[in-house]
Amino acid sequence: MTFTLTKKKADPPERARRGPGEIRHLGLLGALGLLVVVGLVTQPGEFATGGNISGILTLAATIGVITVGMTFVIIGGGIDLSVGALMALASVWATTLATQSYGPVVMVLCAVLVGTGAGVVNGLLIAYGRLVPFIATLAMLVAARGLGQRISERKTQLIRPENNAIESLATTRVLGLPLVVYLFAAVAAAGWVLLNRTTFGRRTFAVGGNPEAARLAGIDVRRHTLALYALSGFCCGIAALIIMARTTTGSATHGDLYELDAIAAVIIGGTLLTGGRGTVVGSILGVLVFTIITNLFVLNGLQTTDQLIAKGVIIVVAVLLQRRGLRTPT
Amino acid sequence: MGPPPEPLLRMRGTVKTFPGVKALSGVDLDVRAGEVHCLLGQNGAGKSTLIKVLAGAHRPDAGEITLAGEPFAPAGPTAAMRAGIATIYQELDLVPGLSVAANVFLGHEPARFGFSRRGAAETAARDLLTRLGHGEIPVRREVGRLSAAQQQIVSMARALSHDARLIIMDEPSAALAHDEVANLFRVIRDLTGQGVAVVYISHRLAEIREIGDRVTVLKDGRSVANGLPVHDTPTSRIVALMTGREGDHAFPERPGVPDGTDEVLRVENLTLDGAFADVSFTVRAGEVVGLAGLVGAGRSEILETIYGARRATSGRVLVDGKAVRPGSTGAAVRHGMGLAPEERKSQALLRYDTVAANMTIAGLARYSRGGWLDRRRERAEVLDQLKALDVRPPDPDRPVVTLSGGNQQKVVLARWLLGGAGDPGGRRLLILDEPTRGVDVGARSELYGLIRELAARGVGVLLVSSEVPEVLGLADRVLVVREGRVLRTAGAGELDEAAVLNMIMEGSAG
């Protein structure tokens, strides 16, 4: 009984206070709405079809899962440039003939373990080796791509027919959407819960916002940093599964420049690049904005070069708008 | 002696107000060409603000300043420098990655023909260094690779490169070894011999005796003595001027700690190389122990080492008789310690977070159920503490940066009070480093009351303050610290302000 009472009393002011954050999301939602309108106007017969929507979400799934991990790393005051390469490495390792011989379950485990393991290496270098995150993960980017090429001998590795359970993640549809979209949704939801409803999430904000204050509050900042990069690596492992399912291959060239797309999505989503402030929801909206832009350009037969220009402009505008929103008294 | 010459710099009734604080409330200062004019005052007396007014970094709200007879109202630091006032801050503002010559001419490189003329800069820098008696400093070397003393010389060369008529030196000897200080004094005498005026700020009375001509004493933002001749003024008079305070704070009563009360903290021969050595003391439950000493005497280092934020070279820290793993703040917290650090902004506050998140960050374990946040309990306890500490406004969802300094400090203290002292998660020892810094007068008394109340609930308190009266008024026992050593431990009643100031400035135990 008392529970409901406290809840009713306590929650409304909190919601009211968080207004500015929601207004920022409103901006993103507005941009998203605008893009949808553009799609409906320019390609009325194509944009709103089930096939196209499903396609957009499937495309968004890979980068979206990576972006969830990236959001944590950036809120925690770091950056992870190795995400695309880690995804590629995980996809290669999970599709070698040796791994494939153990069946799809082992392939899944392998992808996730490789991603997480490489993330742990990132974390160790940064938290305990005191390397700057930019440098440590840049080195990991280069090394992981190289390792992927070495393992695959620069060949694209096909998933063998007996392991097509992996492929079915992209082909099996529930309510019209492939399973990978649900996987993406599940990761995003888990990310939101982890950030907003657990002590881990609270500590992430503290570690990114003021590492010294976090340390003096008794938080083990280094262990936490390690965990953040491991989490990002874990997300790369999941993303590897999605790309394997979509392309039925493992390749050292998967996910080229994904790190930039993921960082861009996080930033337009309202997360501070310097850490301490950010949301999972914003990042997901950022991913959707970028994916829909790509889709619109493709549907309208426009050049991909112009698409890049549009993305660049969006990043700048989003950051300028945020800076205005960030200004606090004193 | 002859009639006093017309002063080079003349300040009358200078006032500078910051939101909520009157930093300067009437300062007179006369500095003559060719003299070393010492500026004395306790922490918070207004010295830094005064320097920044002269350096053009702050604009005064009232009062008149003339430099060589001309009104002096610089638009900014560059203008002040052009007018002939150079400032050498305690934290030298050199660029470590640039060469000596580039630093000397930073911002006004000889580049008259559109190209920077490195050769000319180097020659000119070499001349200036020679003029300072340090022609041996290589002008092409990176400044970051010079010693602290050499960097100071480079700073002075930079001042001279602006044809400074008045050089302000903020604690120039703080980072120097003994023989380097002698050298600094020689350079200062050369400068004054050339007619340059020097405003010299130091806490060390002995130095002022040696180098100073006249002294101006600041207290509570006011000049209480203007231009006393150093040689005719006894130390006791200077100390009296610095301390004779009006409007003393009412300190709460000290009930005293009964003999036989349990020890909360025991520090045994704690040493951190380069900071402090061989520190031993105890804090009993309900006792407030104060550390008195100057900035840089090792006070904060001692506190941070006890708390595990720095790793001791040797020695032990025990809480309730159990040794605490060194170098781990997590271990310190688990043993029941809590720290309110010196720099609220950089060491304590999560500036993007709300009051509530700032309050619970150190106590998240309390609200963790297998990692899940028990948000109801968190919120309930935050509301309790907001009420108990009278934080204004008592709104848990407000961004913490919008609170006043005093209320921010309460939020930082509240981190360690969630659930109250009777709670199993309650603290055994609170370490408070400058708990009233940046806190206005009214909120101070409240904080004093709060600290006493905590002690009354059986918490041990270890307190550092630069303001000697605060330590003496608040603590049961006082440790006087100078240059990394505990000079004396005594009941607060056995010490008075002048004696403590004498000890921390001159080191004469007695």
pLDDT digits (tens, 9 = 90+) for A71-81: 999 999 999 99
* Residue B246: partners with Cβ closer than 8 Å, 6 or more residues away: B220
B425 vs B343, more confident: B343
The tokens 């997300």 sit on which residue? A235
Please provide the CATH number assigned to the domain covering A46-322.
Answer: 1.10.3470
At residue B326, the pLDDT reads 92
Euclidean distance between CA atoms A105 and A98, whole angstroms: 13
Euclidean distance between CA atoms A215 and A212, whole angstroms: 5
Percentages (nearest 5) of helix, strand, coil residues in chain A: 75, 5, 20
**B308: Cα within 13 Å, side-chain hemisphere:** 26
Q: Which among B339, B351, B402 has CB closest to A329?
A: B402
Q: Which among A16, A18, A218 has CB closest to B362?
A: A218
Euclidean distance between CA atoms A252 and A91, whole angstroms: 8
Which of B185, B171, B148 shows the shortest CA–CA distance to B36?
B185
Helix (H, G, I), strand (E, B) or coil at B289: strand
Res B170 pLDDT > 80: yes
Is B329 close to A17, i.e. CB distance below 8 A? Answer: no
Is B397 close to A197, i.e. CB distance below 8 A? Answer: no
Chain A residue with Cα closest to B361: A217
Please provide the CATH number assigned to the domain covering B9-243.
Answer: 3.40.50.300
At residue A1, the pLDDT reads 33
Percent of chain B with pLDDT over 90: 41
Euclidean distance between CA atoms B372 and A247, whole angstroms: 37
The residue type found at A307 is Q
Is A328 close to B349, i.e. CB distance below 8 A? Answer: no
Chain B residues closer than 8 Å to A16 by CB: 397
The residue type found at A297 is F
Q: Picking from A142-156, A179-193, B80-94, B111-125, which range would have the lowest pLDDT averaged per residue?
A: B111-125
CA-based torsion, B417, B421, B425, B431: positive or negative:
positive
The residue type found at A246 is R
| Mean pLDDT score, B462-472 | 88
Neighbour-count burial for B247-268, b at 16+ CB within 10 Å, e otherwise = eebebbebeebeeeeeebbbbe
Res B202 pLDDT > 70: yes
Best A194, A203, A210 residue to mutate vs chain B (most B CBs within 10 Å): A210
Cis peptide bond prior to B393, omega within 30° of 0:
yes
Query: A239: part of which helix (H) or strand (E)?
Result: helix A221-247
* B45: its two tokens: 């007396």
Q: What is the rounded radius of gyration, in angstroms, for the C-alpha atoms of chain B?
A: 25
Which of B6, B450, B452, B473 shows the shortest CA–CA distance to B243?
B473
At residue B244, the pLDDT reads 63
Percentages (nearest 5) of helix, strand, coil residues in chain B: 35, 25, 40
* Chain B residues with CB within 8 Å of chain A CB: 307, 309, 328-330, 332-334, 339, 341, 346-354, 357, 360-362, 364-365, 367-368, 371-373, 375-376, 379-380, 395, 397-399, 401-402, 415
Best B328, B352, B374 residue to mutate vs chain A (most A CBs within 10 Å): B352
| Mean pLDDT score, B228-247 | 75
Q: Is the pTM of this model over 0.95?
A: no
A20 vs B107, more confident: B107
**A266: Cα within 13 Å, side-chain hemisphere:** 30
Is B333 close to A217, i.e. CB distance below 8 A? Answer: yes
Q: Picking from A123-132, B232-241, B280-289, which range would have the lowest pLDDT averaged per residue?
A: B232-241
At residue B246, the pLDDT reads 44
At residue B112, the pLDDT reads 65
Chain B residues closer than 8 Å to A75 by CB: none
Residues belonging to chain B: 510
- The residue extents of the domains of chain B are 9-243, 249-336+428-510, 350-426
Res B440 pLDDT > 80: no
Helix (H, G, I), strand (E, B) or coil at A94: helix
Residues lower than pLDDT 50 in chain A: 1-22, 327-330
Q: What is the DSSP string of B121-162?
A: HHHHHHHHHHHTT-TTS-TTSBGGGS-HHHHHHHHHHHHHHT
Which of B190, B196, B189, B173 shows the shortest CA–CA distance to B131?
B190
Euclidean distance between CA atoms A294 and B205, whole angstroms: 72
Mean pLDDT (chain B) is 86
| Mean pLDDT score, B313-327 | 94
Domains B9-243 and B249-336+428-510 share a fold: yes
Best A7, A11, A215, A216 residue to mutate vs chain B (most B CBs within 10 Å): A216
- The residue extents of the domains of chain A are 46-322
Res B2 pLDDT > 60: no
Res B241 pLDDT > 50: yes
Euclidean distance between CA atoms A56 and A45, whole angstroms: 16
| Mean pLDDT score, B408-434 | 80
The residue type found at A234 is F
Is A197 close to B373, i.e. CB distance below 8 A? Answer: yes
Best B354, B359, B364, B377 residue to mutate vs chain A (most A CBs within 10 Å): B364
Over residues B332-380, the pLDDT tens digits come to: 999 999 999 988 888 999 989 999 999 999 988 888 888 899 999 999 9
Which of A205, A265, A259, A278 shows the shortest CA–CA distance to A21?
A278
Confidence of residue B208 (pLDDT cuts 50, 70, 90): confident
Over residues A268-289, the pLDDT tens digits come to: 999 999 999 999 999 999 999 9
At residue B215, the pLDDT reads 93
Asked: is B249-336+428-510 a CATH 3.40.50.300 domain? The reply is yes
